[in-house]
Amino acid sequence: MPTREQLRTNVGLATELRFSVMRLRRRLVRERHPDNDLSLSSMAVLWALHRLGDLTIGALASREQVRPPSMTRTVNCLADAGLVERQPHPTDGRQVVVRLTEEGRAVVHADATRRDRWLSRRLEELTPAERDVLRQAAPILQRIAAAD
């Protein structure tokens, strides 16, 4: 664990923040619904479609930072499982649009419910002041995550 002096530098803060975020991510991954055997990349696609709506394979690949052929394989697996469906692109006949099915929405909902329940219990263990710090930090972390 870095000393207080190390945390005052951007590099020290970056190190501590990186380790904290990685540990929290690993813990949240373990909180998956027991019936969910989908890969993390498959769940990321379902979550992207849930949050952003219908997307092309190219847009999904770009968002998840993978090559389109890799995303095509992921989408094919999700489609075979009935979690997404492909539709013709409305203006570009070379592309398809990927859409979340009702079954896909149910998987996302079950996943979110279980993980949110775990995290809510952890937040209840914090002081009100600590929760306020996290409320202030959440949008900042979102901004960092969205940066190129």
Q: For residue 7, what pLDDT is reported?
A: 60
- Please give the pLDDT value at position 53: 96
Q: How far is Cα 148 from Cα 143, in angstroms, rounded to an integer?
A: 10
Query: What pLDDT is recorded for position 2?
Result: 59
Helices of type H across 1-148: 4-7, 10-30, 40-52, 57-64, 68-80, 102-124, 128-146
* Direct distance between the N- and C-terminal alpha carbons of the chain, in angstroms, rounded to an integer: 28
CA 56 to chain centre: 18
For residue 92, the Cα-to-chain-centroid distance in whole angstroms is 28
Say whether both 24 and 97 belong to one domain: no
Q: Is 53 left (phi over 0), alpha (psi -120 to 50) or beta?
A: left
Task: Judge whether 15 and 21 are in contact, CB under 8 Å.
Answer: no
The whole model's pTM is what? 0.74
Q: In this structure, are 16 and 84 located in the same domain?
A: no
Rounded (5°) CA angle 134-140-144:
130
Look at residues 85, 123, 90, 118 and name the one whose alpha carbon lies nearest to residue 104.
85
- The answer to whether 107 and 96 have CB atoms below 8 angstroms apart is no
Total of domains in the chain: 2
Residue-level pLDDT at 3: 64
Structural domain that includes position 3:
1-30
Amino acid at 122: R
Tell me what pLDDT residue 58 has.
Answer: 94
Residue 24 shares a structural domain with residue 53:
no
- Looking at the fold, whether 97 and 59 belong to one and the same domain comes out as yes
Q: Which of 37, 45, 39 is nearest to 72 (CA)?
A: 45
Q: What's the pLDDT at 136?
A: 97
Residues 68 and 132 occupy one common structural domain: yes
Same domain, 125 and 52: yes
pLDDT along the chain (148 residues), means of 10: 68 91 91 80 95 96 94 97 95 92 96 93 98 97 88
